[in-house]
Every structure is written in structure tokens, then in C-alpha cells.
Amino acid sequence: MESKTITKKQKITSIIAASSGNLVEWYDFYIYAFTAHYFAHLFSSSGNPTVELFSAYAVFALGFLMRPIGSWLFGSLADKIGRKKSMVYSVVLMAIGSFLIAILPTKDTVGDFAIIFLLIARMIQGLSVGGEYGIAATYLSELGSRGNRGFYSSFQYVTLIGGQLLAVFSAVIMETFFTEQELGSYAWRILFVVGGILALLSLLARKKMHDTTENIKTHKDRGSLKELFKYKKSLLMVLGFTAAGSLCFYTFTVYTKTFMINTAGIASQTSNYIMLGALFCYVIFQPIFGAIGDKVGRKNLLRAFCILGIICTYPLMVALGHINSAMMGFFIITLFLAILSLYTSVAGILKAELFPIHIRALGTGLSYAIANTIFGGTAPMLALKFKEVGFENGFFIYIVIMLIIALVVAWIMPSKTELD
């Protein structure tokens, strides 16, 4: 047994606490992406607006590179000192990063050091969100009991996607109350202050969490890379299906917006409304598919995701490139996200249940972060590169190939798991 029995009320309280922190972490991380065009000129020494924005987004990309380090650091801590303490430290670090960005001096005050200070703040946030995924996935999977683990763990992606939606809505609200000049001058800082405050509030909630590892017997190599490498097969399997899952996630939730604008000729504002509606549906799909996974088997959901993805990705992407109405775009992307939900609703627990408890947080987080950085974070860039060389459909073929690899992995995954 991994922890003492807790009441249903304690489980619900713990789920809310863990999920609220996860939502805030992703809100704080993504609010940067949605506001960078307002403050880019304050930190770059270039007078070219395009170069200024590129510098700001380059800093955003470097935040992704910190995720594997964050997963190693906080995953190791979670396996050594407990999930609860590590999750508390993670959200504190995110609050620090957000408050730092809110008070950063600009290039007019410190010159070229401005962009360096911004990079440091983003690296702090990257460390935090890198650690958050693995611990949250591990914690929610351990909190559930046989028969409802998929449902419980699905709330990780409910709040992950919810953080993105909250970031979009926050930016829209700011644009309602402030002029573009005010946003570019000082108002953008307000969102980071709000993010820091929300992180501190979620910290209070996390202090009431039940620790799923409080009664575990100590293991001399718990939370170490040396111990993790004893489970190379599990590590490789997680890398195999996460590569395809992350690639599809960033393609269907991020790149499709750009694709609709560049290829289908849909107006930018219209594409925003399409994505907001589709992402809202995507949030609702998570607990529904998570509960279905508890009934039919999580590995069966993963296999269904791979098969449907292999069959549907190419024709649906081609169709999306020829849409002539917002409703058709919404329908296609929502269908994409319904297929993707077969993976994301059970993604956390699929990873967590392949590792024993003393190495679970590290194994779950690090394998995800590596695959996410290599295959997920590069998805929009690769898609645009294929378009640049005149072979846009080649990107769709790349997705299908990765899904075939994931399907092979899904078929050889063991029937008995470490959570059993």
C-alpha cells in the first residue's frame, strides 16, 4: 500500500488543491506568450519590431529547454521527500518567476541586461512548470483507487488546458480596459502580478493536500537517475508514445491557428474564436474520456488514439487548409481534439503506472519533458519549415509516422502496472 486510506472528502480536497496549482502554473507560463508582443520593445535593444518580438519569443522557447531540468530536480525531490512538499516548492518558484517579470527593469534603465534578466525569470518559470507535470501526474494517479484512476488523473489536463484558456481570457480583458499604448507601457505587468498572487493562493490550498507517499518505506536510491536507468524499458516506452502525443498536442492546440490563417486564409480574430470554442470543448472531453478509460482500459484508449490519428490526421489537415467558414474550422479542430483526448485524458496515469513508487515522479516527469521539448516544442517550427520548402503536407506525414511508432509501443505495453 502506498499511503494510508483517506476519505472521499480528503481526496476531493487534494484533487482541487493539486489541480488549482497546476492551472496557475500553466497560466503563469503561457501568459507570457499572449502578452510578449506588448512588452518586447522594452527589453530588446533592436529598433526593428520583428527582431524585438523574435527576441521575446526566443526567451519563451528557452523556457521549454528548462523543463527537463525542472522535471529532474522536482521529480527527484518528490520521490525523496514526498509529492506534497515538492509541489509546494514548485508553485513557490513559479510565483517568484511571475513577480520578477512584473518588476523587471527595461532596456532604458539597464540596457542589454534587461533581456538577460527576462531570460533568468523565464528560466525560473521553465524549471517550475517542468517539475509540475510529472509530480501532478504522479500524485493524481496515486490518489485514485482502482476503477477511477483515469477519471482522477484526467483533471491534470483539465487544468493544463484551463490555464491556457485563462491566459487568453485575461489578455482579452486587459485589451478591453486598457489602450494598446497603456498595455505596451505598463499594463502588461498587471497580468504577471495577478499570476504571482494566484500562485501564492494555490500554495495555501496545497498545504492541505494529503501526501500519497507519507507512509512509504525508504529506498536508498529513490529519486536518483541511477535507479531510473534500471527501468530503461519503461523510460523508452513513455518516450515513444509521448513523442507522438506531444507532437499532436502542440499541432492541434497551437499550430492549427497559424495554419488556418496562412493556408486557409481565415482572419486572425476569427481563428481566435474558433480556437477558444474548440479548447473549451477540449476541457470538457478530459474527465469524460478519463472515465471511459477506467471502463474499457487506458491502453485501449491510447491504441484508439494512435489508430484514429493515423487514419484521420492527413485528410483532416488537408480539409482544414481549404475551409471557407468558421463553423467548419471549429468542427474539424474539435474533432481533432476529441481524438487527442483519447490520449491526454489518460496520458498522466499511463506514464506514472509504468514506474515504481520510489522513482515514479522522476520517471514520469523526465520522460515527458524530454519528449515534449524535442517533439512538442518543435512542432510549429517544423510545420512552418515544411511549408517554406513547398511540401506542407510532409508535416502531416511526419505526424502519421510518429503515431505509428506510438501504436507499436501501445501494443507492447505490459498489462500489469506498478500501480496495481
Tell whether the model's pLDDT for residue 311 goes beyond 90. yes
Distance in angstroms (rounded) separating the CA atoms of residues 91 and 202:
8
Segments in 82-147 forming alpha helices (H): 83-103, 107-110, 113-143
pLDDT, greater one: 420 or 287: 287
pLDDT of 111 above 80: yes
What is the predicted pLDDT for the residue at 301? 96
pLDDT for residue 9 is more than 90 = no
CA dist., res. 307 & res. 404, Å (int): 8
Percentage, residues of the chain above pLDDT 90:
30
Question: If you write DSSP's letter for every residue of 174-237 in order, what string do you get?
Answer: HHHHS-HHHIIIIIHHHHHHHHHHHHHHHHHHHTTPPPTTTTPPP-TTTT-HHHHGGGHHHHHH
Residues of the chain with CATH 1.20.1250.20: 1-216, 219-420
Q: Among 38-42, 84-88, 101-105, 108-112, which is the least confidently predicted range?
A: 38-42
pLDDT at 214 over 80: no
Q: CATH homologous superfamily for 219-420?
A: MFS general substrate transporter like domains (1.20.1250.20)
CATH superfamily of 1-216: MFS general substrate transporter like domains (1.20.1250.20)
Question: What pLDDT was estimated at residue 1?
Answer: 39
pLDDT at 27 over 90: no
Write down the residue that cell numbers 498587471 correspond to: 190
What confidence category does residue 45 fall into, taking pLDDT thresholds of 50, 70 and 90? low
pLDDT tens for 136-158 read 888 887 776 666 777 878 888 88
- φ, ψ for residue 400, nearest 5 deg: -60, -40
pLDDT category of residue 2 using cuts at 50, 70 and 90:
very low
According to the model, what pLDDT value does residue 3 have? 44
Alpha-helical segments (H) within 353-378: 360-371
Evaluated on CA atoms 49, 55, 56, 61, the torsion sign reads: positive
Distance CA 9, CA 415 (A): 31
Query: Amino acid identity, residue 283?
Result: V
- What are the grid coordinates assigned to 152, written together? 482522477
Of 262-276, 306-320, 335-349, the range with the lowest mean pLDDT is 262-276
Distance of alpha carbon 199 from alpha carbon 205, whole angstroms = 10
Cα–Cα nearest to 246, from 124, 121, 403, 112:
403
What is the band of 309 on the pLDDT scale with cuts at 50, 70, 90? very high
Hey, is 105 helix, strand or coil?
coil
